[in-house]
Amino acid sequence: MTTEFVPVVNLNGESREALVNARTAARIVVMEAMKALAECAPHGRDYQTSTRERYEGARALYVKRFAFLDQLANELEDEAIAIQDQ
């Protein structure tokens, strides 16, 4: 993670606690979205009348979406840690 865009704790800005709590709350919501997305994972039984490519495409799209959310959750956690460490 780059620290280039992590806010700098200072007397004129939000408190360290508020900055960390905002990112922690956002991360929790993203993780809830990951749980919901897991319920959408493609299963071969739902593609029995389709081509193999259609199932494989759906699976690839699912993995891409999940990876995006996972990356976002990790970045939010890293930012919260970087702010806390200031």
Rounded to whole angstroms, the Cα distance separating 36 from 28 reads: 12
All structural domains of the chain with their residue ranges = 16-84
Query: pLDDT below 50 — which residues of the chain?
Result: none
The amino acid that residue 20 corresponds to is: V
**Per-residue buried b or exposed e for 72-84, using 16+ beta carbons within 10 Å of the residue's own CB:** bbebbbbbbebbe
pLDDT of residue 56: 96
Tell me, yes or no, if the pTM score tops 0.75: yes
pLDDT of residue 3: 75
